[in-house]
Amino acid sequence: MGESRAALNVLAHLTADGLTSIVCANSASGCEMRHAQPRTSARRQEGAFPVTDGTPRVGTGYDVHAFAPVEAGRPLIVGGVVIPFARGLAGHSDADVLIHAVVDALLGAAALGDIGTHFPSSDAHWRNAPSTEFLAFTAELLRDHGWRIGNLDATLVAEAPRMGPHVPAMRAQLAATLGILVEQVSVKAKTTDGLGFAGRGEGMACYAVALIERTAS
């Protein structure tokens, strides 16, 4: 034990506010306490960790829309695809719940606001507008800010109509609008087994996750 103790020269203790070094001589003369700011903390303060080529960012999106009354005569459009159904979703634009969630995920990943920032419902220009326009605008905005899309993953929640048969067309439409490969787009469809507003057939929801990467400068 004595030899091990003598051979120990430096101990380091990492605390929340810095790095404390305990320097001990090879004798019983005692130890000296020294405090130093961690290099990583100093670098962060100096902004020495820029977002560089290949740096990934992740964003999440969520959207929900109620079904409009049958008499409203609105088409049901999900993922840019017209779905045969008696009722469409209510909203200022075409109420595409899938695209709205994807747009928010992409904008969130790049810290560029949200769908309401760029396409406010108070703007008459967007009334009944196809949400594919929102998606195309978002893709261009990301490119302008030096980002490329890595992949998207979205989950639709609806009791009816069944979304599964339309998923391939949705993936193709999203990929074409964004200018990426179909393999980079995942769309899944789930029910709630009769639970909640979606289970009661009152509307639809969608969750989305997007990964983006910094392009070469």
What is the rounded (10 degree) CA torsion for 136, 139, 141, 147? Answer: -170
Residue 53: the pLDDT is: 67
Comparing CA positions, the residue from 180, 190, 125 lying closest to residue 158 is 190
Confidence of residue 49 (pLDDT cuts 50, 70, 90): very low
Least confident piece of the model among 18-22, 51-55, 64-68, 80-84: 18-22
Q: How far apart are CA 178 and CA 184, in angstroms?
A: 10
Mean pLDDT of the chain: 82
Question: Domain 56-214 maps to which CATH number in 3.40.50.300, 3.30.465.10, 3.30.1330.50, 3.30.40.10?
Answer: 3.30.1330.50
Asked if 75 and 82 touch (Cβ cutoff 8 Å), the reply is: yes
Residue 88: the pLDDT is: 95
Percent of the residues in the chain that have a pLDDT greater than 70, as a whole number: 75
Residue 29: the pLDDT is: 52
Give the mean model confidence (pLDDT) for residues 39-49. Answer: 43
Q: Where are the domains of the chain?
A: 2-46, 56-214
Comparing CA positions, the residue from 91, 70, 105, 84 lying closest to residue 178 is 105
Confidence of residue 45 (pLDDT cuts 50, 70, 90): very low
Q: How far apart are CA 29 and CA 17, in angstroms?
A: 28
Is 105 in a helix, a strand, or coil? helix
pLDDT tens digits, one per residue of 54-82:
789 999 999 999 999 999 999 999 999 99
Where is 141: in which H helix or E strand? helix 131-144
Task: Report the sign of the C-alpha dihedral through residues 188, 136, 126, 83, in that order.
Answer: negative
